Chains A and B, each alone.
Chain A
Amino acid sequence: MIYKSPNGSKISCKGWQQEGLLRLLLNCLDPDIAKSPQDLVAYGGSGKVARNLAALNAIVEALKTIENDETLVIQSGKPIGVFRTHDFAPRVMMAGALLVPKWANWDYFQELENNGLTAYGQSTAGSWAYIGTQGILQGTWETFSQVAKRHFNGTLKGKLVLTSGLGEMGSAQPIAITANGGVVIIADVNRNIIKRRLISSVIDIKAESVEEACEIAKDYIKKEEPISIGILGNAADVYEYFVEHNITPDIVTDQTPAHDLKSYVPSGLFTEQAKQLRKKAPQTYEQMVKDTIRRHVTAMIELKKRGSIVFDYGNNLRGQGYKAGIKDAFCFPGFAAEYMRPLFCEGRGPFRWVALSGNPEDIYKTDEIILSLFKQDKRLEEWIDFVQRRFTFHGLPARVCWMNYRERATFGNIINDMVRQGELSAPVAITRDHMDAAAVASPYRETENMKDGSDAIADWPMLNVLLNCSSGASLVGIYHGGGVGIGYSIHSGMTVIADGTEEAKQRLSMVLKADPALGVIRYADAGYEEAEDIIKTTTFPAKTFL
């Protein structure tokens, strides 16, 4: 069975709220978007959109039949029932993978999953808001653009970035870095991956040695022209080369699969050899991995001492380094806490919208609105230009853009108007990633090292989902374990369908304000002055108690 979202303006549900959600659900399983649609997995290891095939079919059936004052309730990807609510209530509400904390670990979760009692929804897979790799690209782009803004006057021109890992996530790095004007040397141990990335222009050139890579880099840095240089090699070896030869990159990070030591390839081996050794001598392998991690992290710490901007890219490298015996492994920050937090403080987050018509024209039209509406925002302009050039739409065309609370509400209402006036060919679903300010509690990433120590407080995503439910979201959901795994995060998602009606206008104006505003409050509550300032100095949509 192959799933694809319907498009166009003819609907098979009793209203656009339901139809929009149905389309988003099926779009998550589009063969061009989903990682493994036959297993109902949208992305991220095993992030599922429904518990199993029967559940999926039942959900589709239910969405087609529910009335405009009913709500479909879904428990970890399985529909539980349709309840009469009211027209302004969500049409779908979901909770996924939540466990009583004491039992919240992978082993136990997998046992429950195997028994068919729960399902892992990652984040946007579970809440049907996954739109493909644009989200990853945007996240990476945003990170490097923040790094540029913070340290290098807003551009990476003439700057050298040293990183590694050309996997699914990692290959967004060279694109994002060169888009920000920088020069990047990126190492990977997999010959085939490097070749693939070269063919598809993810990297511009493959150097035969670190030495050659450095020479090419030097040349481009001098010219202040961007280039991405791939090298076949182990991150630890490559980073050590920089230390030994006294070359200090401007930025150093890493996206090797350090979070999963079974995928991390130790120095001295290539991918295939690593696979064999892992089978034959797991203990030797483990020891080698440990040694490599230690060298890897040590080199990064040394480069930091010499003046590089160094950060962990959310793959738990520091944690593994610490476990391998490096006491000050945490001396460099995580990207989320360091570079995303200032954005969260101003209520800026991973906003996205999806053209339910299936027509790219609708998205290009909304792009134009953004460009004219937020003219002063140069970064936004750069992003739109970049993504328009680099990104092919798959399934339902969508756009990802980090916007603050005011921008989201303004923009949401404009989209709704455009739908009403027929400027867009069908309604638009407005949604976001779960990794938003109030929406996520994740002490190893987004809420790492909070000023007041409230890293693990998980009231916020709960309140977020309840508030969005009360504000008129079309779909609300709360999930456990996305990004960093079971036990380590709680997060919520939401979607509002802008169908051009007066009701949608109300929903949008409330949800798009309340959702990010609660995020600003969360950060103000944790003592971040930037957030407090915003509450105090702008016409903030909520009354607070500061």
Chain B
Amino acid sequence: MTETIKAQKGNKNLCKSWPQEAVMRMLMNNLDLETRENPEMFTSTKVARSREYFDKIIESLKELEDDATLIIQSGKPVGIFKTSKMAPRVLASNAMLVPMWATWDNFRKLEDKGLTMYDRIVAGNWMNIGSQGMFYEMLEVFNILAKRYFNQSLKGKLIVSSGMGTAGGALPLAVTANDGVALVVDVDRAKIEKRIKEGFCESISDNLDDALSIVLNARENGRALSLGLVGNAAEIYPEILRRKIVPDVVTDMTSSHDILSGYIPAEMTLKQALGVRKSDPQKYIKLAKQSIAAQLSAMLKMQAKGAVVFEFGNNIRQNACDAGVKDAFNIPSYAPLFIRDLHCEGIGPFRWMALSGDTKDIYKTEEKLLELFPEDAKLKCWIDIVRRQFTCHGLPARECWLGYNQKIEFGLAINEMIRKGEISLPVVIGRDYYDSGSAASPYGETEAMKDGSDAIADWPILSAILSAASGAIWVSVCHGCGTGIGYSIHSSMAVLADGSDDAKRKLSLVLANDSSISTARYADAGYEVASRTVKNNIKYQY
């Protein structure tokens, strides 16, 4: 798989119309980013079940008519149907299993037979925008954390985390952006170096003693700082504890939701780990679980000593629990703690991507965004950071969190810009899987719901169907994202702004409905703020 796939840019279309073209560019861009960030990972983090199917998808999109829909079953294209212009051009379902069979064991068996495909957080979502995708949410998380626990600012606070992968790699920056001190552990030196190169992290250390003296000093002086420490969290966390150092905030962003191919057990080099993974997966899983247990036990103790400890949605508590740490769930999840309030207000992720490939288009839209909402100070500040920190790979894209009305207003404004020719080519608008209505994940977004509806999975599916009925160009549902097989159901969508009246209609429908059903989900669960938001926005409420 040496061939590099690059997203098509500019106005030379390979497809019959912009919606298909947009979907195809999203998909190619996805792979573009993936291969750029993790060149060795192509086979594990998949956008298609195999290269053959990927090619078939691309080929189909090129031929796809304006009123046809391509159906993709767990990364395999299975049919093209005649539908309507309002219908999505692509419908996808990933890794869905009949619940009683929804375990990793069964899943792996089916995967080995080539019958399904695992959708890791972003891959099945074709609108992958790299580590930027999680960054804005992280900014929000640390912002709210600061507000709630530390008098508005993380100044002089030590935040310990682990994992510098696609998602975790942005954490140091989110901490320093909120004026805190970040110590992030990862076994893979290369990953840390990469993050430093990209500007997410400031420095690196191979030695705990050095690292601690640096970060403690910074905490003392109230200086914002980020440091990557090469090591295994399962060893480092207990050691920090042994030294009687209590960080202010502790979390974890290792790939603990995917024990076999994500998490690296303690006392093992990366290379060794890759070896055992292949030679003795069972042993590997056992070791990994032991390590997870050790790491989480340390986190629990830190919590007991006063640290703010939370899980960042990677199911580490469940795995620790399975490995014998009974009170693993004493640690709360980030979602109910920090994100739920935003969801109730109808605030959620919004991302947009310029199909032109021209970064200037994104800049123009950013200016438009700030111009539309001058009163939103946070928005201005963070957009600046994001713009500074994220060089746009592949197709230039941006993500930020916007309120209900902001999304619609901004979406329509982008369309208007295209119509007027202020932006050269169409822009595709979507969001993360992790919006409020599109997630059912009792150890993630829907943990500890007010009415106990954590495990109700109707919402993400309704969200997907509603998007399909509202004019989205791409709709996808998936099982097992984030917290692993058996633990979550999500859905996602994308809609196109191409300056046309048709697009204007679709944008206003999709953006309004997507936010509405999300907020309705929280209103239904008894959150009053959400009920108020809904009352103003949904025509009819039961």
Interface residues of A (CB under 8 A from B): 54-55, 58, 62, 65-66, 70-73, 75-76, 78-86, 88-90, 93-104, 108, 112, 115, 117-118, 441-443, 452-460, 462-463, 465-467, 469-472, 476, 478, 480, 486-490, 506, 510, 513-514, 517-518, 521-522, 525, 541-545
Question: Distance (Å) between the CB of A545 and the closest chain B CB?
Answer: 5
Task: Give the interface segment out of B196-204, B217-225, B274-282, B449-457.
Answer: B449-457
Q: Are B93 and A459 in contact (CB under 8 A)?
A: yes
14 further A-B pairs in the complex, CB-CB below 8 A; given A76-B456, A462-B93, A480-B99: A82-B538, A83-B513, A93-B469, A97-B458, A104-B100, A112-B453, A454-B110, A467-B81, A470-B83, A472-B84, A490-B96, A510-B81, A510-B82, A542-B79
User: Does B369 touch A at the CB level, under 8 Å?
Assistant: no
Q: What is the CA–CA distance of A88 and B85 in the complex, to the nearest angstrom?
A: 10
**What residues of B have a CB within 8 angstroms of the CB of A513 in the complex?**
81-82
B527 to chain A, nearest CB (A): 14
| B242 interfacial by beta-carbon distance below 8 Å | no
Contact B94 A459 (CB under 8 A): yes
Across the interface, which residues of A come within 8 angstroms of B458, CB to CB?
75-76, 95-98, 118
For the complex of A and B, list the 9 residue pairs with the smallest distance between their C-beta atoms, beginning with the closest. Answer: A101-B102, A104-B99, A456-B101, A470-B87, A103-B455, A101-B99, A82-B540, A95-B458, A89-B469
Residue ranges of B at the interface with A (Cβ–Cβ < 8 Å): 56, 60, 69, 71, 73-74, 76-84, 86-88, 91-102, 106, 109-110, 113, 115-116, 440-442, 451-459, 461-462, 464-466, 468-471, 475, 477, 479, 485-489, 505, 509, 512-513, 516-517, 520, 524, 534, 538-542
B542 and A458 within 8 A (CB): no
Q: How far is the CA of A525 from the CA of B454 in the complex (A)?
A: 34
If A100-B441, A541-B81 touch, does A81 touch B542 (CB 8 Å cutoff)? yes
CB pair A58–B455 under 8 Å, yes or no, is: no
**Alpha-carbon separation in the docked complex, A327 to B403 (Å):** 60
Q: B365 to chain A: closest CB distance in Å?
A: 25
Please give me the residue from chain B that is nearest to A544 by CB atom.
B79
Given contacts A89-B470, A452-B113, contact A544 B78 (CB under 8 A): yes
Tell me whether A462 and B461 are in contact (CB under 8 A). yes
Cross-chain contact of A84 among B441, B442, B539, B541 (Cβ < 8 A): B539
Provide the residues of chain B in CB contact with A459, threshold 8 Å: 73-74, 93-96, 116
26 CB < 8 A contacts A-B = A65-B540, A80-B462, A80-B517, A81-B539, A97-B458, A98-B461, A100-B441, A101-B486, A102-B487, A103-B454, A441-B96, A443-B98, A459-B74, A459-B95, A466-B93, A466-B465, A467-B71, A467-B83, A469-B465, A470-B83, A487-B98, A488-B100, A490-B99, A510-B84, A513-B82, A542-B80
Cα-based distance from A452 to B109 in the complex (angstroms): 12
Shortest Cβ distance from B441 into A: residue: A100
**What residues on A are CB-neighbors of B486 within 8 Å?**
100-102
Q: Are B113 and A83 in contact (CB under 8 A)?
A: no
Main secondary structure of the interface of B (DSSP, over half): mixed
Query: Is the pair B86, A79 in contact by a Cβ cutoff of 8 Å?
Result: no
Residue of B nearest to A87 (CB): B86
A98 & B469 in contact (Cβ 8 Å cutoff) = no
Q: How far is the CB of A25 from chain B (nearest CB, A)?
A: 15
Q: Which of B102, B113, B456 contacts A118 (CB 8 A)?
A: B456
A506 surroundings in chain B (CB, below 8 A): 84
Q: In the complex, which of the residues A90, A117, A466 has the most CB atoms of chain B within 10 Å of its own CB atom? A: A466
A62-B540, A452-B115, A466-B93 known; A93-B466 Cβ under 8 A: yes
CA distance A62 to B95 in the complex (A): 35
Chain B residues within 8 Å of A96, by CB: 458
Closest chain-A Cβ to B381's Cβ sits at a distance in Å of: 34
User: Which residue of B101, B455, B471, B509 contacts A108 across the interface (Cβ within 8 Å)?
Assistant: B455
CB contact between B471 and one of A86, A103, A441, A510 (< 8 Å): that residue = A86
Bound-state CA distance A522–B96 (Å) is 14
- In the complex, the chain B residue whose C-beta lies closest to that of A491 is B98
Smallest beta-carbon distance A497→chain B, Å: 16
In the complex the two chains form, is B470's CB within 8 Å of A82's CB? no
Cα distance A70–B469 in the bound complex, in angstroms: 10
Cβ distance A486 to chain B, nearest Cβ, rounded Å: 8
* Other-chain contact of A518, B79, B84, B540 (Cβ < 8 Å): B79
Closest-by-CB residue of A relative to B74 is A459
CB atoms of A457 and B74 under 8 A apart: yes
Given contacts A55-B542, A469-B469, contact A463 B71 (CB under 8 A): yes
Which chain B residues border A55 with CB–CB below 8 Å?
Answer: 542
Contact (Cβ within 8 A) A83 B517: yes
A99 to B486 Cα, complex, angstroms: 10
CB of A112 within 8 A of CB of B459, answer no
Query: Contacts A81-B541, A82-B540, A459-B73; is A466 near B99 (CB within 8 Å)?
Result: no
Q: In the complex the two chains form, what is the Cα distance from A459 to B539 in whole Å? A: 32
Name the contact of B461 in the complex, choosing from A82, A95, A108, A456 (C-beta under 8 A).
Answer: A95
Question: Once bound together, how far apart are the Cα atoms of A514 and B86, in whole Å?
Answer: 16
Pairwise interchain contact B462-A88, C-beta atoms closer than 8 A: no
Could you say which residues of chain B place their CB within 8 Å of the CB of A83?
Answer: 466, 470, 512-513, 516-517, 538-539
Q: How far is the CB of A512 from chain B (nearest CB, A)?
A: 12
- A466's nearest neighbour on chain B, judged by CB, is B91
- Residues in B with CB closer than 8 Å to A518 are 71, 78-79, 81
* Closest CB in chain A relative to B517 CB, distance in Å: 7
Docked-complex contact B456 and A466, CB < 8 angstroms: no
Q: Within the complex, which residue of B457, B485, B524 is in contact with A99, where a contact is CB–CB below 8 Å?
A: B457
A284 and B432 CA atoms in complex are apart in Å by 56
Count chain A CB atoms within 10 A of each CB in B82, B455, B475, B520 and give the residue with the most: B455
CA of A331 to CA of B524, assembled, Å: 48
Quick check: A463 and B91 within 8 Å, CB to CB?
Answer: yes
Residue on A nearest B112 in the bound complex, by CB: A453
Instruction: Report which of B81, B92, B110, B488 forms a contact with A542, defined as CB distance below 8 A.
Output: B81
Given the complex, which residues of A lie within 8 Å of B489, measured CB to CB? 98, 100-101
| Nearest CB of chain A from residue B472's CB, rounded to whole Å | 10
Contact partner, B513, options A84, A466, A522, Cβ 8 Å: A84
A96 to chain B, nearest CB (A): 7
